[in-house]
Structure 1
Amino acid sequence: MDVVTIGETMVLFTPQSSPLMRYAETFSRGFGGAETNVAIGLTRLGHQAGWISKVGNDEFGKAMLSFIRGEGVDISQVKVDSTAPTGMYFKEIRSGNQVRVQYFRKGSAASLLQPSDLDEKYIANAKYLHVTGITPALSESCYRTIIRAISIAKENGVKVVFDPNLRRKLWSEDRARKVLLEIASLADIILPGKDEGFFLFGVEDPETLGERFLNNGSSVVVLKLGAEGAYYFTQSERKIVPGYQVDKVVDPVGAGDAFAAGFLSGLLNGLSIEKAVDKANGVGAMVTMIPGDFEGLPDDEELDAFMRVSNTEDVIR
């Protein structure tokens, strides 16, 4: 397995007859979750990805497993829980830069994940373990599960990749800051956004943030700068990699997950960190042009065409 990831995926409802839920009479149904967005992004780029989670023993859970399996993601480590439901959320796309999301996930099956749900051999056989800051925010047992998964990975030489993916509504700021910094200190690679860096360290300067994350324990830091691109840091190298312009941002949700998938794909393909970040920028840009959390994730052919045209036009780059 190339990448194993752990976390909750939910049923997604998006208003169709009106962008506002209060007026909508019809909704489209889909699925979304940071970890499966990354896993699907990786499978579309030709890699093997596995997902660890729980879903409810309900029609939503069954539909979700069928769909994610169909995208080529290994779901053998997803357990079905008869005591709790599959989580759901609603997304209002009012405009490309104004998206409102409302979650109904309290007490969901995935929030009941616990360390005993982990198969050590499954994680040990991966090249990378991908975790986000969402999962440990769901419950104390989820927090312990993530810490245990990281421990298994480190014991077996599996690289840990961490996307803080801050969700302020899920926990207190003090608890969030403490746990995110703890996991960041254990991760080999961290993929924070500028706002997350400010939340954790109280500074906005990218170079200072890069230093802070390196000093906190990570060996590779990739600071996402939105449309501007990303700034990567190691002990011996640091550089800004410019982003790709898109004609119109339709739905920005999932762009960070797409970035993670592109970056991991680059590393798996043996690219330098700079080239992997460039690939991540391309995947992240592409996903914003299509409605949905993962629908715009490209395959290699689509990505190559997009990056080639963008480089030729020399829009931002």
Structure 2
Amino acid sequence: MDGQILCVGDLNPDLVVPYGEMKRALRQDLPGPTAQLLPGGGMGNTVTALGRMGLRPLILGMVGNDSTGDMIAADLQKNGVDTRFLRRQQAPAMAVVSVIEEDGEKVFFQWFPPGGQDKAFTPADFSEPVLERCSLLHLNGMVVQDGGPSARAVTEFCELAAARGIPVSIDLNLRCAQYPLTPERRALLGRVLAVASHILGSGAEEWCTLTPGRTKEQAARRWATAQNTVVCRDGAQPVLLIDRLHESRHAPPPVEVVSRNGAGDMFDAGYLARLAAGGTPREAVFHGLAVAAHAISHRQPRSVPGPAELAHLLACIDP
């Protein structure tokens, strides 16, 4: 593809609390781990991984006007992300407290610092220079969380990109526990899905919430057309790939799980990287599985595999 992958989505500081590790350490009377403040956000994870892979992705997002905003901006630049369209809002940004359980599962809590506010896009954020540099647009459901003016601005940008022949990719990432799927949000999300070339989602909590009364596989099929690709993930279970209405299933490579934090975001990075290199959706799924498997088997956040390890993981996937 000519141009750059443009990622639109959430950037925020993550306070990672290793609750499960601390419980194990206490039982063994050993020194325990400490909580860490890290650059985070679902789209932050994906765009940083793309940068580490050498793709020089663009980010269109917002960070706070405080030290955590400085930290996130510096980390993006250090990892090869093009930040020319990064915005600084006029207030401290929301932080996410991520509590990691003993089994590696995570529970999220939102925290707003004094004077803090959530991020909001305006139509002015989506100027012509943004679109001109874009070869593929990737976003997640977080950017239509409010169902209001900010979400409408993002939705209209997706429709404009699709009308100009730019592929649109979306990870559902609904986070309905924090952001209920109101009629307004559902309607805008439906407009985005209608123009998306690639729809990715994880588990029943996303697919079945989006399309009630169906299994996750049935819900995924509901959004599949002869023009798009749908990827239905569910942890360690095989991925259901529906590409132009042709279905296949692909199991992830077996690895020892250290942390599942950000696994879906890292899958997205591997998937997008392969698409950008001219790969098919099937090849993109394999790369997504390999990158996600590497990430969950390493303690370092946003860890990406080198060429040799990527080749090994790809060889472990049953085609």
Give the aligned partner of residue 99 of structure 1. 106
Percent identical residues: 22
Residue 237, structure 1, aligned to residue 239, structure 2: no
Q: For residue 210 of structure 2, what is the aligned residue in structure 1?
A: 200
Rounded Cα–Cα distance in structure 2 between residues aligned with 1:259 and 1:25: 27
1:12 maps onto 2:22 in alignment? no
Aligned residue for 1:77, secondary structure, equals coil
User: Unaligned 5+ residue runs, structure 2?
Assistant: 27-31
Contact in 2 for aligned 1:9/1:87 (Cα 8 Å):
no
Residue aligning to 2:131: 123
Partner of 2:178: 170
Q: Does 1:71 align with 2:60?
A: no
1:306 matched to 2:317? The reply is: no
TM-score by length of 2: 0.85
Matched, 1:228 2:237: yes
1:242-291 CA-to-partner distances (Å, cap 9, x unmatched) read 211112x2221211111111111111222222121111111112211234
DSSP-derived class of the 2:170 partner: strand
Alpha carbons of structure 1 residues 224 and 51: separation in structure 2 relative to 1, 3 Å: same
Corresponding residue for 2:97?
Answer: 90
Superposed CA RMSD in Å reads 2.7
What's the CA shift string for 1:1-55, capped at 9, x where partnerless? Answer: 32101122111122369748xx999532211111121112222223121111122
Can you give the 5+ residue segments of structure 1 that lack an aligned partner in the other structure?
A: none
Residue of 267, 270, 275 corresponding to 1:267: 275
Measure the CA separation in 2 of the matches of 1:19 and 1:271: 42
Please give the per-residue CA displacement for 1:152-195, whole angstroms capped at 9, x wherever unaligned: 31232210001110111333334344333332112111012231
TM-score, normalised with respect to structure 1? 0.86
Q: Distance in 2 between matches of 1:15 and 1:115?
A: 36
Task: Give the secondary-structure state (helix, strand or coil) at the position aligned to 2:294.
Answer: helix
CA distance in 1, matches of 2:127, 2:179: 28
- What is the distance in 1 between the residues matched to 2:129 and 2:161? 10
1:40-59 maps to which residues of 2 (within 5 A)? Answer: 40-59=48-67
Task: Name 1:214's counterpart in structure 2.
Answer: 224
Greater shift, 253-262 or 171-180, is seen at 171-180
Deviation at 1:205, TM superposition (A): 5.6
- Which piece of structure 1 moves more, 257-266 or 222-231? 222-231
Distance change >3 Å, CA 73–CA 95, structure 1 → 2: same
Aligned residues: 305
